Amino acid sequence: MNSFIESNCNFMFNQNIKCYNFDSKKESIFKENDFCGNSPIDFLFLYKNDIFFMEVKDINYFKDYFIIKDSNKRGAFFDKQVCDIYAKYIDSYTILSLSNNQNITEYQNKLTKLSKVPKIILFVVDSIKKEELLLFIEKLEKKLKKKFKNLKIDSIFVETLNNYNNELYVVRQGSVK
């Protein structure tokens, strides 16, 4: 079982899931694209016929969104988070396409065979109700699709400590350092 630590959580991927800690290099190998930022999403894994990008965020990154009273500022804050996810997505996609790193060759091969682009899982470290998650996904998808019309976002899904997919991985929170 592959075990990775991120945002004070231990992600243990099931044996049949091929997972790669994508953020381990700390810096992107594709620095010339300034807009894309310089760090890829946290995990990369294969499941069935899809490649998944998984970004883990502590709820504290988003808490401000619910606290900010000014709707314009709140919107700007949300946009910033969306841009951050987008930048990581582009960065990861670029690394995957162009990298010579042997560790990701399998994913690279898969990517060339697949017509689909990778799917993004945004893992929010906290317990949020499914109803709120659904609205969050709707909002995120809408923002991403509207903001970046040229980007093919196949789909984005938000998971939490309560609602993760335990067929792929289990997650333990708290005592991890």
CA–CA separation, 135 and 118 (whole Å)? 22
Strands 18-21 and 43-47: antiparallel
Which is closer to other proteins, CB of 87 or CB of 122?
122
Q: Counting contacts by CB under 8 A, is residue 172 touching other proteins?
A: no
Q: Counting contacts by CB under 8 A, is residue 145 touching other proteins?
A: no
**Which one among 157, 161, 172, 176 touches other proteins, defined by CB under 8 A?**
157
Contact 76, 129 (CB under 8 A): no
Q: Counting contacts by CB under 8 A, is residue 47 touching other proteins?
A: yes
Residues in the chain: 177
DSSP string of 70-91, one letter each residue: SHHHHHHHHHHHHHHHHHHHHH
Strand order in the sheet with 43-47: 18-21, 43-47, 50-58, 119-125, 156-160
Instruction: Classify the phi-psi angles of 174: left when phi > 0, otherwise alpha if psi is within -120 to 50, otherwise beta.
Output: left
**Which one among 25, 110, 119, 172 touches other proteins, defined by CB under 8 A?**
119
Query: Which 50-69 residues touch other proteins, going by CB under 8 A?
Result: 50
Query: Shortest Cβ distance from residue 75 to other proteins (Å)?
Result: 17
**Which one among 41, 95, 133, 171 touches other proteins, defined by CB under 8 A?**
133
Q: Please work out the total of residues on this chain that contact other proteins, with binding judged by CB under 8 A.
A: 15
Residue range at the interface with other proteins (CB under 8 A); choices 7-15, 22-30, 99-107, 133-141: 133-141
Query: Which 6-45 residues touch other proteins, going by CB under 8 A?
Result: none
Strand partners, 120: 53, 156
Contact residues toward other proteins (CB under 8 A) are 47-50, 119, 129-131, 133-134, 137, 155, 157, 163, 165
